[in-house]
Amino acid sequence: MADELIVTTDLSKEEKYKELYPQIFALIQGEDDLIASLSNMMSALKHSFGWLWVGVYFVKNSELVLGPFQGPIACTRIQLGRGVSGTSWHKKETIIVPNVDEFPDHIICNAASKSEIVIPVFNKNGEVALILDVDSNQLNDFNEIDQKYLTQIIQLVVPLL
């Protein structure tokens, strides 16, 4: 495992993901603990991209419960169908929100959040086991490149579910 994350400045978004992916892979390779792996993954994402908030929520019974994250304190529990994350869980699909003020029922955990991407992660039974939630303090900060690479990255923990 590397001691320090390599983050090269002045790279395009896609180049940043290409630099980051093998580092995250190496970070969690050989580690079979889900929380430990997610914790380092969230740290690597936060430090590479500098987003406001990067974290996961676990599906527990009938709600989402806060898991490993990096950033300001956040809502602890979110109900099915509520907010962007609860909607992503309910619809079982990735949601990109260019402007959170225009998303009906957006849950304000931090007023600085302006745009957001939420990606559901499925267990072997095809049920949503957790969601990855990334918030930016910039409007329109996420697109299909983030969807592609963040999905690949968060998929790395599926064998640990």
What pairs with residue 120 in β-bridges?
Answer: 131
Contacts by residues 40-44 (CB-CB < 8 Å, ≥ 24 positions apart): 41/68, 41/153, 41/154, 41/156, 41/157, 42/68, 42/69, 42/70, 43/70, 44/5, 44/20
Q: Which residue in the shown chain puts its C-beta closest to ligand SME?
A: 83
Pick from 120, 134, 123, 118: nearest CA to 160: 123
> Which of 5, 11, 36, 74 is in the footprint of ligand SME by CB under 6 A?
74
Q: How far is the CB of 143 from ligand SME (least distance, A)?
A: 18
Q: Under the criterion CB under 6 A, does residue 36 sit at the interface with ligand SME?
A: no
Q: Under the criterion CB under 6 A, does residue 84 sit at the interface with ligand SME?
A: yes
Amino acid at 161: L
How many CB atoms are located within 10 Å of the residue 64 CB? 26
Q: Under the criterion CB under 6 A, does residue 83 sit at the interface with ligand SME?
A: yes
Q: How far is the CB of 159 from ligand SME (least distance, A)?
A: 25
Q: Under the criterion CB under 6 A, does residue 133 sit at the interface with ligand SME?
A: yes
Q: Under the criterion CB under 6 A, does residue 117 sit at the interface with ligand SME?
A: no
The residue ranges that bind ligand SME (CB under 6 A) are 53, 74-75, 78, 83-85, 106-107, 109, 113, 116, 133, 135
